[in-house]
Amino acid sequence: MVSFLRRKSADQASDVLVPPVPEAPTVGKGRPTPKRSQAEARRGPVAPPPKTQREAIKRSKEVGKTLTKDEKRTQSNQRRERMMRGDDAYVLPRDRGPVRAFVRDLTDARRNVAGILLPVALLSFVILLIRNQTVQLIGPFILLIAILAAVVDAIIFGRQLSRRVAERFPKGDPAGLSIRPRALGFYAFNRACLIRKWRVPRPRVGRGDAV
């Protein structure tokens, strides 16, 4: 009787379904890596680079809508750093091209009289605040002398600049910008009026360096 009960319980245990053992997860992606052409086809066609500054700003705004605040700040810092380095893709249209970069280097490598205009103008403004007629006449007189000296220095430098640009770029500006002496001289004068720390792009050469 006991042996019969043992045999019956053993048969019932054999009828119990044993759950299948789960297979070990497959290491890796489990599928072949797609080729570069296939990956690019999935992403869609790549947009061509912007042709104008306005188009670049428009694209930047569209991309910025999908970015977080930290990502926007990081992207803005990267754009500014590349602009300060003189990257043609990020500078203003007036600063693009090798000719403009050459003019900036020539301007940054010399001591320009135009660089004293801002400090002298600030000094003249302070002098005007002094309640003394004799002293108040000194400020505008000093500023007038500084302006005349800066203009004369700019004319002399403009002639040297046009000659150096013609020697370096006999076929013109590869970027298609104007290389007229008056345009280049005005561009150099505007840069020379700024303090070196305020110049954009930042100077790549020091004062007195050979260009």
pLDDT by residue (tens digit) across 79-115?
A: 899 999 999 888 988 899 999 999 999 999 999 999 9
Element (H, E) at 137: helix 133-168
- pTM for this model (two decimals): 0.66
pLDDT by residue (tens digit) across 148-190?
A: 999 999 999 999 999 999 999 988 888 777 788 888 999 999 9
Distance CA 135, CA 142 (A): 11
Residues 6+ apart with CB under 8 A from 188: 103, 106, 107, 154, 157, 158, 161
Angle (deg, nearest 10), helices 133-168 and 98-108: 130
Which letter does DSSP use for residue 116 in this model? G
Distance CA 29, CA 82 (A): 38
The domain locations on the chain are 97-198
